[in-house]
């Protein structure tokens, strides 16, 4: 804890998660634990082809199963009056049920509603479909080429994100978005460079793998209101889209979200909601749909990406950085266009280069639709730009940390978009991770002092670091209501979704701090659009900053009312009063005080009353020029993080083990330091899987590992022996107590740190994730063949690694 945070009684302290006890005891009720009286169960039939015209979908046999109330196809959907058949946040490209054609293997083609789940599943299995197969495309680079099999004939803008329309890709291709950034003249600088590094880095689609599958329950009330319980990070977006799909007023759609069992971006925008509500409408009954694990793999994945990167060096300086990134949207664009635009804008990395060119594409392929996943596309870029920094360091024979210090963005610098960079903790993170790499090295046989006693001959050790930034989602808005009870307990109404990130606890801390309450007496409600005011979404590590600020605003309205009454009663000016531990007291004469219950009685003369405050916070950005990406304000603020990894590479098997992992994260201010560490470590552990073994494997256009038996996740045995997190506090003036988000900071720089460490260990550069033993062995063999006896030099902090 820093010195400043001692001023606060709740903020800055390691408060245990308020939702922890119920969760560890297994008592937390998730959506699947809820009962929806009278609700029909839905089961879905899915396409077996990656791309095909639908000739026939036959629900006849399915409808004959006892208990089945309705079998429903995409053709039936088109016949329903007053329902808009397609949805999507950027383009309305996704049908509620496929009609006309299917675009990926696993796409829903029909739904069955039945009195029991068993009947629904039995019936769904009886649905027959005939297809006319079409050529399909899986690779985003191939899909981006003219002449590739085309997934969508035209694109209907969704209207929500108007700025994305200016970036619409070329009609008649699979490119739905093309973001451009131009700063200086990268092409010219590359042409004039002494040396140009040019590489393509690829990341496959991976699964969010939230332990709780998606679920939605919906019913239309007698008055026509639509009530939806759903696992969603975006209750207000879902409300708006359902209103549009079904032609309802916003006030006639109520979206309720219980705590989620993980999400990571996988439960964002519309998922099961349009189909579930449609089935509620056509059956006139409440309905519920809960996915199986396999179906989760058919619902969302992280964008695979191919990142082409060029780094030009002239006269000992990096003079140019050019990036072309192809985000693999899968079948439907979802928020991919925003990733191409927003994350594309940070593709040059956290550095000052004189000449920059970025082209970021969002490309359709015949795969599960992609969505954001912890990092919003940044990790797919950082692997490229941070490996290239080490390549450049090697070429320039500089220490990689020193080279980064030369180019790293400092406070007040202009980003290559022309936006000033403010409150940026990049150097602090870089310093932190490099210091910790050194310090922790001292406690064991130094890697540059020869093999450790226990190190086998075939084990090579290496170390690497990396740095990355991410811009916060902007513009975005959070509103909150704080209701203080006369006993000093309070309710915070916020539409932020608790999905394990600890928002509930942090919000309670903020309200408790502002109002001088016992944090255990603050209850944060779960999102319910009938009770919590608007919040853009729970994603992008934005909640602590945005909702935190809104809660401060709301709490301060209440605080003012408390002080007003106390000031009148105590005859002390408000500004001389303080509020702590349930008491308002004079700063100079603390014994002149009133308790909160006393203030309520004074103000209202009645027990049990409430004081309400409401707060709004809006983060800003200015739309960029679509041709150059230039804007005076590209985001509200930044996240900075650095990772350091030490690996052991088994040169006989190619197996890579991360034995030490250091994460340095700029959290602005740690409202709950323990939470911050957990967030950073959780992100790092997850990213370890994406780096070393996770991949949704497609064969013949079909997913072949859609289960946790075949799709491995990071296990406890994969966690490094040393798993160090350094919370860097670089307060952001506009943040609540200086805090910024921390949910993704641990993920962004980890992959290149490992790639750099492997290079340090065995001299190979890897560019295709995940880093399987096969790829390591192949790369080592190729390196030996290409340059026998020579190892690409790589100077890591602490000097050369042992080989």
Q: Would you name the residues annotated as active-site residues?
A: 744
**Residues making up the chain, counted from first to last:** 803
Q: Which residues pair with 309 in a beta bridge?
A: 199, 323
The residue (of 412 and 605) whose beta carbon lies closer to a copy of itself is 605
Segment 136 to 165, residues that bind a copy of itself, using CB under 8 A: 159-160
Residue 406 near a copy of itself by CB under 8 A: no
The residue (of 476 and 544) whose beta carbon lies closer to a copy of itself is 476
Q: Which stretch binds a copy of itself (CB under 8 A): 7-15, 398-406, 471-479, 763-771?
A: 471-479
The residue (of 21 and 171) whose beta carbon lies closer to a copy of itself is 21
Residue bearing tokens 């531990």? 581
Binding mask 241-270 for a copy of itself (x = CB under 8 A): --x-----xxxx------------------
Q: Of 528, 625, 722, 768, which lies in the binding site for a copy of itself, with binding defined by CB under 8 A?
A: 528
E strands, 26-115, are 40-46, 52-58, 68-73, 86-87, 94-95, 101-102, 108-114
Strand duo 698-699 + 610-619: pairing: unpaired
Segment 706 to 765, residues that bind a copy of itself, using CB under 8 A: none
Q: Of 292, 422, 489, 734, which lies in the binding site for a copy of itself, with binding defined by CB under 8 A?
A: 489
CB of 152 to a copy of itself, least distance (A): 23
How many Cα atoms are found within 13 Å in the side-chain-facing hemisphere of 125? 6
Report how many residues bind a copy of itself under the rule CB under 8 A: 63
Residue 609 near a copy of itself by CB under 8 A: yes
Retrieve residue 793's tokens.
């030099």
CB of 84 to a copy of itself, least distance (A): 15
CB of 523 to a copy of itself, least distance (A): 4
Coil, strand or helix at 47: coil
516 and 581 Cβ atoms separated by less than 8 Å:
yes
- List, in order, residues 6 or more apart from 696 with CB less than 8 Å away: 204, 205, 206, 207, 297, 301, 367, 368, 703, 705, 706, 711
- List, in order, residues 6 or more apart from 320 with CB less than 8 Å away: 184, 186, 189, 190, 193, 196, 310, 311, 312, 353, 354, 355, 356, 357
- Number of helices followed by number of strands (H, E) in the chain: 20, 32
Segment 13 to 42, residues that bind a copy of itself, using CB under 8 A: 18-19, 21-22, 25, 27-29, 34-35, 37-38
Segment 618 to 637, residues that bind a copy of itself, using CB under 8 A: 618
Binding mask 192-231 for a copy of itself (x = CB under 8 A): -----------------------------xxx-x------
751 and 460 Cβ atoms separated by less than 8 Å:
no
Q: How far is Cα 277 from Cα 219, in angstroms, rounded to an integer?
A: 7
Residue 82 near a copy of itself by CB under 8 A: no
CB of 608 to a copy of itself, least distance (A): 4
Among the listed residues 239, 252, 230, 93, the one whose alpha carbon sits nearest the alpha carbon of residue 168: 93
The residue (of 2 and 609) whose beta carbon lies closer to a copy of itself is 609
135 and 115 Cβ atoms separated by less than 8 Å:
no
Q: How far is Cα 465 from Cα 250, in angstroms, rounded to an integer?
A: 48
Q: Of 487, 560, 718, 800, which lies in the binding site for a copy of itself, with binding defined by CB under 8 A?
A: 487
Per the rule left: phi > 0, alpha: psi between -120 and 50, beta: everything else, 414 is beta
- Which stretches of 227-311 are DSSP H helices? 235-246, 273-283, 293-297
Q: Of 536, 635, 663, 756, which lies in the binding site for a copy of itself, with binding defined by CB under 8 A?
A: 536
Residue 118 near a copy of itself by CB under 8 A: no
Q: How far is Cα 48 from Cα 130, in angstroms, rounded to an integer?
A: 10
Q: Of 207, 299, 370, 476, which lies in the binding site for a copy of itself, with binding defined by CB under 8 A?
A: 476
Coil, strand or helix at 103: coil
Q: Which stretch binds a copy of itself (CB under 8 A): 177-185, 386-394, 485-493, 774-782?
A: 485-493
Residue 613 near a copy of itself by CB under 8 A: yes
The residue (of 489 and 630) whose beta carbon lies closer to a copy of itself is 489
- List, in order, residues 6 or more apart from 206 with CB less than 8 Å away: 301, 302, 373, 689, 690, 694, 695, 696
The residue (of 29 and 587) whose beta carbon lies closer to a copy of itself is 29
Q: Of 330, 533, 736, 752, which lies in the binding site for a copy of itself, with binding defined by CB under 8 A?
A: 533
The residue (of 483 and 678) whose beta carbon lies closer to a copy of itself is 483
487 and 597 Cβ atoms separated by less than 8 Å:
yes
- List, in order, residues 6 or more apart from 235 with CB less than 8 Å away: 255, 256, 257, 495, 497, 527, 528, 529, 532, 535
The residue (of 148 and 621) whose beta carbon lies closer to a copy of itself is 621
CB of 262 to a copy of itself, least distance (A): 19
Q: Of 8, 87, 237, 310, which lies in the binding site for a copy of itself, with binding defined by CB under 8 A?
A: 237
Residue 556 near a copy of itself by CB under 8 A: no
The residue (of 136 and 559) whose beta carbon lies closer to a copy of itself is 559
691 and 750 Cβ atoms separated by less than 8 Å:
yes
The residue (of 65 and 563) whose beta carbon lies closer to a copy of itself is 563
Residue 498 near a copy of itself by CB under 8 A: no
Q: Which stretch binds a copy of itself (CB under 8 A): 400-408, 462-470, 611-619, 724-732?
A: 611-619
Burial class of residue 74 in the structure, from the number of CB atoms within 10 Å of its CB (0-12 exposed, 13-18 middle, 19+ buried): buried
Retrieve residue 617's tokens.
């916070």
Chain residues in the site for a copy of itself (CB under 8 A): 18-19, 21-22, 25, 27-29, 34-35, 37-38, 159-160, 221-223, 225, 236-237, 239-240, 243, 249-252, 475-477, 479, 481, 483, 485-491, 493, 521-523, 525, 528, 530-531, 533-534, 536, 604-610, 612-614, 616, 618
């Amino acid at each position: 804890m820093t010195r400043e945070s001692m001023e606060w009684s709740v903020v800055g302290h390691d408060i245990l998660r308020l939702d922890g006890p119920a969760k560890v005891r297994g008592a937390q009720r998730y959506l699947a634990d809820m009962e929806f009286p009278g609700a029909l169960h839905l089961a879905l039939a899915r396409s077996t082809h990656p791309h095909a015209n639908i000739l026939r979908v036959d629900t006849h046999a399915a409808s004959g199963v006892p208990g089945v109330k309705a079998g429903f196809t995409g053709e039936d959907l088109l016949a329903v009056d007053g329902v808009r058949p397609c949805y999507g946040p950027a383009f309305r490209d996704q049908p509620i049920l496929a009609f006309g054609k299917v675009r990926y293997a696993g796409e829903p083609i029909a739904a069955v509603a039945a009195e029991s789940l068993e009947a629904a599943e039995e019936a769904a299995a009886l649905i027959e479909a005939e297809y006319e197969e079409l050529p399909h495309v899986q690779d985003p680079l191939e899909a981006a080429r003219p002449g590739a099999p085309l997934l969508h004939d035209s694109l209907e803008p969704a209207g929500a994100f108007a700025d994305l329309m200016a970036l619409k890709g070329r009609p008649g291709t699979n490119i739905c978005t093309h973001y451009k950034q131009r700063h200086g003249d990268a092409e010219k600088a590359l042409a004039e460079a002494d040396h140009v590094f040019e590489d393509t880095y690829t990341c496959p689609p991976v699964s969010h793998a939230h332990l709780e599958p998606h679920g939605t329950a919906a019913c239309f009330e007698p008055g026509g209101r639509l009530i939806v319980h759903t696992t969603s990070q975006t209750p207000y977006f879902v409300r708006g889209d359902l209103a549009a799909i079904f032609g309802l007023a916003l006030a006639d759609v109520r979206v309720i979200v219980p705590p989620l069992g993980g999400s990571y971006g996988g439960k964002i925008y519309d998922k099961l909601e349009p189909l579930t509500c449609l089935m509620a409408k056509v059956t006139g009954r409440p309905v519920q749909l809960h996915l199986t694990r396999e179906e989760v793999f058919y619902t969302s994945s992280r964008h695979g990406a191919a990142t082409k990167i060029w780094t030009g060096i002239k006269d000992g300086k990096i003079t140019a950085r050019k990036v072309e990134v192809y985000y693999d949207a899968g079948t439907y664009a979802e928020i991919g266009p925003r990733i191409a635009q927003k994350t594309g804008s940070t593709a040059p990395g956290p550095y000052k280069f004189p000449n920059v060119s970025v082209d970021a594409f969002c490309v359709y392929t015949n795969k599960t639709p992609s969505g954001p996943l912890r990092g919003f596309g940044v990790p797919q870029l950082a692997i490229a730009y941070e490996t290239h920094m080490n390549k450049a360091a090697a070429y320039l024979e500089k220490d990689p940390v020193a080279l980064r210090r030369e180019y790293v963005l400092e406070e007040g610098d202009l980003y290559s978009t022309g936006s000033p960079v403010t409150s940026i903790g990049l150097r602090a993170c870089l310093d932190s991770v490099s210091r910790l790499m050194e310090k922790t090295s001292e406690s064991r046989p130094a890697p540059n002092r020869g093999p450790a006693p226990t190190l086998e001959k075939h084990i090579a050790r290496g170390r690497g670091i990396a740095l990355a930034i991410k811009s916060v989602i902007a513009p975005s808005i959070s509103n909150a209501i704080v209701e203080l009870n006369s006993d000093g307990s309070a309710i915070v109404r916020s539409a932020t979704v608790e999905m394990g990130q600890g928002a509930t606890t942090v919000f309670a801390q903020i309200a408790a701090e502002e109002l001088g309450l016992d944090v255990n007496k603050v209850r944060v409600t779960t999102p319910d659009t009938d009770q919590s005011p608007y919040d853009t979404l729970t994603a992008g590590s934005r909640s602590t900053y945005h909702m935190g600020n809104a809660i401060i605003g709301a709490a301060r309205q209440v605080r003012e009312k408390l002080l007003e009454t106390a000031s009148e009663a105590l005859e002390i000016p408000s500004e001389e009063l303080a509020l702590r531990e349930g008491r308002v007291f004079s700063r100079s004469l603390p014994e002149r005080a009133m308790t909160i219950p006393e203030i309520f009685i004074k103000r209202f003369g009645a027990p049990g009353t409430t004081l309400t405050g409401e707060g709004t916070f809006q983060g800003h950005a200015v739309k960029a020029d679509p041709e150059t990406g230039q804007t005076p304000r590209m985001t509200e603020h930044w996240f900075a993080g650095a990772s350091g990894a030490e690996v052991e590479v088994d040169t006989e098997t190619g197996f890579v083990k991360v034995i030490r992992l250091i994460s340095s994260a700029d959290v602005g201010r740690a409202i709950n330091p323990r939470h911050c560490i957990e967030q950073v470590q959780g992100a790092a552990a997850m990213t370890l899987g994406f780096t070393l073994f996770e991949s949704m494997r497609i064969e013949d256009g079909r997913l072949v590992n859609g289960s946790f038996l075949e799709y491995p996740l990071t296990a406890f045995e994969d966690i490094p022996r040393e798993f160090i997190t350094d919370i860097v506090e670089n307060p952001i003036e506009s943040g609540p107590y200086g805090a910024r988000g921390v949910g993704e900071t641990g993920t962004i720089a980890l992959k290149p740190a490992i790639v750099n460490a492997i290079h340090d260990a065995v001299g190979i550069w890897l560019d295709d994730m995940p880093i399987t033993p096969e790829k390591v062995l192949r790369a080592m063999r190729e390196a030996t063949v290409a340059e026998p006896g020579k190892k690409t030099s790589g100077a890591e902090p602490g000097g050369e690694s042992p080989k």
